[in-house]
Amino acid sequence: MTDGTVTSATPVTAKSVCRCCGGFCPVIATLDGSRIEKVEGNPDAPLHRGFICPKGRALATQQNDPNRLKHSLKRMPDGSFVPISKDQLIDEIAEKVRQCIEEYGPDSVASYMGNPVHEQPATAPMMVSFLEAIGSNSLYTVATIDQPGMFVSDALHGTWEGGHVPLDLLDVFLIIGGNPIISKQYANNNPGQRLKSFVGRGGKLIVIDPRRTETARRAAVHLQGIPGEDPAILAGLIHLVIKGGGTDAAFVKENATGLDALTAAVSPFTPDYVAQRAGVDPEQLRQAAQLLIEAKRGDVGSGVGPSMATRGTLSTYLSRCLITLRGFWTRPGDPARSPVLLAPWQPRAQPSAPYPAIMPDAPRKPARGIGASVAGLPLNGLLEEMMTPAKGNVCAMFMHGGAMRTWPDTRKVKEALEALDLLVVHDIEMSATARVATHVIATNTQLEVPTFSQWFESVSFTHPGWGVQEPYGLYNPALATPPPDAEIMASWEIYYHVARRLGLSLKLGRIFEDRASALPMDMEREPDTDALYALLCEGSAIPLETVKQYADGHIFEEARTKVGPRSDDCSARLELADAGMMAQLQEVATEDYHARRGTGPDFPYLFIPRRIQQTTNATYRAEGILRTPYNPAYMHGTDLAQLGLSPGDLVRIRSKNGSIVGVVESDDDLRPGVLSMTHGFGANPGDDHDPREHGANVNELLSWSDDYDPLHGQPRMGAVPVSVLPIEQEEKA
């Protein structure tokens, strides 16, 4: 067995970590020479115990991808791509960056951090460092089209220093529009087994979801509401909890304000009103509230579903209020997130006061009137900027993510990306987004770069559903090598080289930490990825060199952190009745909800997104990993029968924003009236498109103008009214 790069022709095994999602599952690869034969879970890994999902197993296929990009490419005026040497690539990109800064200012050079950025963990810190060096504030992330409401609601409600109670200690867990068994959010390491253990020891799972998901099947109560009605359901639960004497009065008195105002705001949400409006059983609503009232320890996790279905901030805000009302936050002596490759910390069982969610003084100008928030710069409005050359508008973009398949309004996305003076995309094959780039950097696969657990730790400080609570550390060197005839760049390298060409110095710091602690990089001698990791681990709770001694990863008991007692001078309070949130709740209570939902004779169904186990939205998809190469349009059997459709039929799906052609599939776990499809499919507009081969890009149904959140700009991406028409009928019409 070896843990390093393999040169022998005899089959051997080597260890690394899957980085296709935030699960961070340790893997063992069997290699024959430099070829990876198979990838399995590492049974000796202390947290995951051998668990991986099909995407992890498909890493072998990814590594052996016959379509692998071996050289970086440059787009020619006629749209074709030609190979370009590393030196020329760096020269051209550096020159374009210089020109953009000169003509339009530093903010015209932007970076986008999508989920694939996790695959090479040095990339995000280098991207931040580069933007700082050129003086650009234009860092965009996936956050404002994923779960921006979580960041904003934390600011409005305030946060609890000790964090959420870990799953293993909960009596009750309420999940809103999330499906950990597939997404891994809220139970990263082996979610199926962890939820099974939770339920097995008497834990009660409550799930709010329009679909009887893999997770909902394990629920004590499944509230299968109408998409978009999460705020009403949550307000109804809060109303019942307060009315049923479930408020932890002592906790609330010491730690929160606004109880009376919240009580009044949720009073219209009686079980009968919520049932009528959201299509749930009032008795089930009461059962769910009773489980929340009876539980000693509990938590509420909000997923991507409610976030996309509009009013995601309000849903998450109410979920935080529910935790506070019940006093479900951690108490002294509870386990806390325990840094290993981050600096040590000592959290207390006390609130941190609310803080501004909106940053009116942020240097980047607002687009569409939506400014920067604690969720970051809004993607909403960026496309218009890209298409309008002007001082401060983005004209160059370094892209780490699959914008063509993940950003709403695909046609506009393509037009805007093609309007850029410079679009640099890192990829291992010609993805949909690479095809609209000016420069495509042939980069490493995730197994070709060393990995360490710092990112896994870091995300736990920004999102309670991700990362690790245990004092867990892991480092593995690169497991595989690129093809011998390839010229490949790690995806952080471009930032280093362009900075050097521009005569700039970089300072490298840990992501999500104060930039004051960033350390200067050696701009003379080019570092390797390991040197960057060493810099990023300066001052960590456990030295990186110690972590390196454990190829399977290790629980470092000496770094275990417990929640400390409240400090005597803590006077902060959590806010149960933020004025903006209460106003929105009143709007929910008084609106014509049928009109807001938007369904009717023209658009009788509601589209919702759906995750599948075999693929993520924005990253490489292995050949043959899916049962069908397309993303089926799932509908309830009764809906299919009413439309005269059979599974496999082609349909036109139309929203007020656009239309796609889908292939229908029956799914009686869905609520009737709902159509559910997965993001991340479809051909680029203008390319040859066969719905049975490429699937459909659901983003064509979406618009940035549709019902967007005024605080962070996320448009309606779920609960979208659509019509479904058999293609045969459309052709006759």
Residues near ligand SF4 (CB under 6 A) are: 18, 20-21, 23-25, 52-53, 55-56, 184
Q: How far is the CB of 43 from ligand SF4 (least distance, A)?
A: 14
Closest distance of CB 615 from ligand SF4, Å: 9
Length of the chain: 733
Q: Starting at the edge strand that comes first in sequence, how are the strands of the sheet with 204-208 ordered? A: 221-223, 204-208, 172-176, 298-302
Looking at the Cβ atoms of 310 and 446, the one nearer to ligand SF4 is 446
CB-based contacts of 507: which residues, under 8 Å, 6+ apart?
129, 132, 133, 515, 518, 519, 520, 521
Least distance in angstroms from the C-beta of 54 to ligand SF4: 7
Q: Are 52 and 189 in contact (CB under 8 A)?
A: no
Question: Which one-letter amino acid corresponds to residue 559?
Answer: A
Give 570-600 as a DSSP string: ----EES--HHHHHHHHHHHHS-HHHHH--S
State the Cα–Cα distance between residues 41 and 29, nearest whole angstrom.
9
- DSSP letter string, 449-489: S-EETHHHHHHTTT-TTSS-SS-EE-EE-------TT---B
If the CB atoms of residues 30 and 263 are measured against ligand SF4, the closer one turns out to be: 30
Cα-based angle 415, 622, 447 (whole degrees, multiple of 5): 100
CB of 361 to ligand SF4, least distance (A): 38
Q: How far is the CB of 180 from ligand SF4 (least distance, A)?
A: 10
Angle at the Cα of 118 (from 96 to 701), degrees rounded to 5? 75
Nearer to ligand SF4, 55 or 654 (CB): 55
Least distance in angstroms from the C-beta of 621 to ligand SF4: 12
Nearer to ligand SF4, 18 or 291 (CB): 18
Residue 19 vs 654, nearer CB to ligand SF4: 19
> Do 269 and 589 contact (CB within 8 A), yes or no?
yes
Nearest approach in angstroms of CB 315 to ligand SF4 is: 25
Nearer Cβ to ligand SF4, position 267 or 614? 614
Which helix (H) or strand (E) segment holds residue 496: the answer is helix 493-501
Minimum Å gap between C-beta 117 and ligand SF4 is: 14
Closest to 508 measured CA to CA, from 519, 517, 497: 519
Q: Tell me the two tokens of residue 236.
A: 């109804």
Q: How far is the CB of 406 from ligand SF4 (least distance, A)?
A: 17
Quote the strand ranges of 105-220, DSSP E: 109-113, 139-141, 159-160, 172-176, 204-208
C-alpha–C-alpha distance, residues 209 and 134, integer Å? 45
Of 150 and 447, which has the nearer Cβ to ligand SF4? Answer: 447
At 216, list the tokens.
């909902």
* Residue that is written with structure tokens 């989920």 in the block: 115
Query: What is the rounded CA–CA span in Å between residue 20 and residue 31?
Result: 20
Distance in Å, CB of 129 to ligand SF4, minimum: 26
Q: Whose Cβ is closer to ligand SF4: residue 23's or residue 354's? A: 23
Return the number of the residue (320 or 611) whose C-beta is nearest ligand SF4. 611
Q: Which two tokens stand for residue 351?
A: 């609130």
Least Å from the CB of residue 647 to ligand SF4:
28
What's the CA gap between 468 and 186, in Å, rounded? 10
Q: What is the C-alpha to C-alpha distance for residues 190 and 168, in angstroms, rounded to an integer?
A: 13
Nearer to ligand SF4, 374 or 626 (CB): 626
d(CA 681, CA 674): 19
With beta carbons less than 8 A apart as the criterion, state whether 640 and 667 touch.
no
Cβ distance to ligand SF4 smaller for residue 52 or 670: 52
Q: What is the DSSP letter of 356?
A: -
Separation CA 405–CA 397 (nearest Å): 17
Cα-Cα-Cα-Cα dihedral sign, residues 231, 233, 234, 238: positive
Cα 437 from Cα 426, distance rounded (Å): 10
Shorter beta-carbon distance to ligand SF4: residue 51 or 634: 51
Compare residues 236 and 609 and give the one whose CB is closer to ligand SF4: 609
By C-beta, is 56 or 312 nearer to ligand SF4?
56
CA angle, 508 then 514 then 517, to 5°: 50
Residue 287 CA, distance from chain mean position: 31
Least separation in angstroms between CB 190 and ligand SF4 = 9
CB closer to ligand SF4 out of 179 and 224: 179
Number of residue whose CB is nearest ligand SF4: 56
Rounded least distance, CB 56 to ligand SF4, Å: 3
> Which residues make Cβ contacts (< 8 Å) with residue 112, sequence separation at least 6?
140, 141, 142, 397, 398, 399, 400, 401, 403
- Residue (56 or 246) nearer to ligand SF4, CB: 56
Smallest distance, ligand SF4 to C-beta of residue 188, A? 8
In whole angstroms, how close is the CB of 21 to ligand SF4 at the nearest point? Answer: 3
Pairing relation of β-strands 298-302 and 172-176? Answer: parallel
**With respect to ligand SF4, which residue has the nearer C-beta, 56 or 231?**
56
Cβ 52 to ligand SF4 shortest distance, Å? 4
H or E stretch at 500: helix 493-501
CA end-to-end span of the chain: 65
Smallest distance from ligand SF4 to CB 728, Å:
38
Distance CA 718, CA 432 (A): 23
